[in-house]
């Protein structure tokens, strides 16, 4: 396939824009992204607000496709210039054949996405998306879907769900687990050590001590008999004072991890009122200026919003993906080698029970592991040869 710059220039010339070759184009594709299919994301339609939400939705699709290296994206400056010169503006109901004709005559992408956003009652909005494979033609779209989003401020919830449908991944930000993940899970040891909270002396094996008695949160976290079945569990009896401030928390010991590997976290939780979360915090050994010795410092974290039912035990499984990250602006690289599992509850006040927390490695890191770039708003522009 022609590189993206050549495709854009040839397409514009074919469409009758003779001066295209004189116009420098922005949005060069990084080497690791260039092998991905080229995606053209048109601005979404949103008649209720004159297109504002539609632009926001399309921007989020482009940003997440770029950040997570899902597709090679035709950048906004290129797309806007092409649409302006062609006098083309897609609506949700624009015939797919017309969109295909525009795409082939201009930027020649592999895939085209378009859609709309419309009110769905109260604060809710519905996000519609269509994706066409240009090689397959308009008769059968690759994706034609819609997602109900809680509010305009939670647009990324719908964006991630639609990208999951498009890529076939439960979480489109990461590679899918290996096919034999269940066998790996069954064989792998629990990195926390103990299974559940059954063993230990003054604290459960694999978990932190309960801390000094003057720490209010630790006075509310207990290691007790499970009220519903044999064995013991962690119980948080959270007061209103704590619920309205920091909430209750309890952490595992530091666990050894490998950047780029895939881990699975499994747990059970029962809440009588409080909101529940789990944090997976990642740490790197650092020595700060003036320190004689370093310490493990948190470099980033994963937040899991627990799905709960009032007064019922709920079992959940989530994946964890520690990464080597590169801060593009500063050139700093963070490589976490440890993590901790944090059980957390906050407002409203009440009681929470935790049990059977298991953390296992289920996939090895890739052989060609590359740092994941963060803090970079966009890719470098094309350098125009003199």
Domain ranges of the chain: 4-173, 182-372
Q: What are the DSSP E strand ranges found in 211-313? A: 221-225, 232-238, 248-251, 255-256, 262-271, 275-286, 295-305
pLDDT on residue 169: 83
For 182-372, the fitting CATH number among 3.40.190.10, 2.60.120.260, 1.20.1440.230, 3.60.15.10 is 2.60.120.260
Q: Which two tokens stand for residue 188?
A: 């792998």
Residue among 106, 75, 121 nearest 10 (CA): 106
Q: Give the bridge partners for 54, in sequence order.
A: none
pLDDT on residue 213: 59
Tens digits of pLDDT across the chain (386 residues): 334 444 443 443 443 333 333 333 333 334 455 578 999 999 999 999 999 999 999 999 999 998 888 999 988 888 888 888 889 999 999 999 999 999 999 989 999 999 999 999 999 999 999 999 999 999 999 999 999 999 999 898 899 999 999 998 877 878 888 899 999 999 999 999 877 899 999 899 999 988 765 565 668 999 999 999 999 999 999 999 999 988 999 999 999 999 999 999 999 999 999 999 999 999 999 998 888 889 999 998 999 999 999 999 999 999 999 988 877 778 888 999 999 999 999 999 999 999 999 999 999 998 877 787 765 433 333 232 32
Q: Are 243 and 348 in contact (CB under 8 A)?
A: yes
Q: Which two tokens stand for residue 267?
A: 């747990």
- The pair phi, psi for residue 27, each rounded to 5°, is 95, 50
**Count of alpha carbons within 13 angstroms of residue 325, beta-carbon side:** 21
Q: Which two tokens stand for residue 191?
A: 């990195």
User: Rounded CA gap, 275 and 266, in Å?
Assistant: 18
pTM of the model: 0.70
Angle between helices 52-67 and 155-167 (to 10 degrees): 50
C-alpha dist (Å) from residue 348 to 238, 241, 250, 310, 345: 9, 10, 18, 12, 9
Tell me the Ramachandran region of residue 282: left when phi exceeds 0, alpha when psi lies from -120 to 50, beta otherwise: beta
pLDDT on residue 215: 60
C-alpha dist (Å) from residue 164 to 10, 59, 109, 157: 33, 17, 21, 11
pLDDT on residue 34: 54
pLDDT on residue 22: 31
- The pair phi, psi for residue 100, each rounded to 5°, is -65, -45
pLDDT on residue 210: 82
**H helices present in the chain, as ranges:** 4-14, 31-34, 52-67, 76-86, 96-105, 155-167, 181-187, 216-219, 240-243
DSSP string, 124-183: -EEEEEEEEETTT-SSS-SEEEEEEES-GGGHHHHHHHHHHHHHT-SSTTSPPPPTTHHH
User: Rounded CA gap, 315 and 268, in Å?
Assistant: 4
Residue range 4-173 forms a domain whose CATH class is: alpha beta
The DSSP 8-state label assigned to residue 346 in this structure reads: E
Comparing 4-173 with 182-372, is the CATH topology the same?
no
């Amino acid at each position: 396939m022609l590189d993206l710059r050549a495709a854009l220039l040839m397409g514009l010339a074919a469409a009758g824009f003779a001066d295209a070759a004189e116009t420098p184009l922005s949005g060069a594709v990084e080497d690791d992204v260039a092998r991905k299919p080229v995606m053209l994301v048109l601005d979404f339609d949103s008649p209720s607000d004159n297109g504002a939400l539609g632009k926001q939705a399309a921007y989020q699709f482009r940003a997440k496709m770029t950040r997570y290296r899902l597709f090679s994206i035709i950048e906004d400056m290129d797309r806007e210039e092409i649409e302006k010169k062609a006098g083309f503006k897609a609506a949700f109901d624009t015939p797919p054949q017309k969109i295909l004709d525009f795409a082939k005559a201009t930027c020649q992408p592999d895939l085209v996405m378009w859609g709309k956003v419309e009110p769905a009652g109260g604060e809710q909005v519905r996000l519609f998306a269509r994706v066409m494979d240009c090689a397959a033609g308009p008769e059968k779209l690759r994706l034609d879907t819609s997602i109900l989003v809680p509010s305009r401020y939670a647009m990324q919830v719908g964006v991630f769900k639609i990208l999951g449908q498009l890529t076939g991944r439960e979480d489109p930000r990461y590679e899918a687990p290996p096919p034999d993940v269940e066998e790996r899970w069954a064989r792998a040891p629990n990195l926390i050590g103990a299974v559940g909270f059954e063993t230990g002396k003054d604290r459960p094996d694999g978990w932190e001590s309960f801390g000094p008695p003057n720490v209010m949160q630790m006075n509310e976290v207990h290691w007790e008999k499970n009220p519903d079945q044999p064995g013991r569990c962690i119980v948080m009896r959270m007061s209103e004072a704590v619920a309205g401030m920091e909430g209750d928390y309890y952490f595992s010991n530091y666990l050894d991890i490998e950047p780029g590997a895939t881990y699975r976290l499994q747990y059970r939780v029962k809440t009588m009122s409080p909101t529940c979360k789990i944090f997976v915090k990642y740490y790197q050994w650092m020595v700060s200026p003036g320190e004689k010795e370093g310490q493990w410092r948190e470099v980033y974290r994963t937040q899991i919003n627990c799905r709960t039912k009032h007064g019922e035990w709920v079992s959940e499984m989530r994946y964890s993906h520690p990464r080597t990250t590169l801060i593009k602006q500063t050139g700093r690289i963070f490589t976490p080698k440890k993590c901790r599992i944090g059980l957390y509850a906050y407002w409203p006040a009440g009681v929470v029970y935790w049990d059977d927390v298991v953390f296992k490695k289920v996939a090895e890191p890739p052989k060609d592991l590359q740092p994941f770039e963060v803090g970079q708003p966009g890719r470098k522009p094309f350098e125009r040869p003199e």
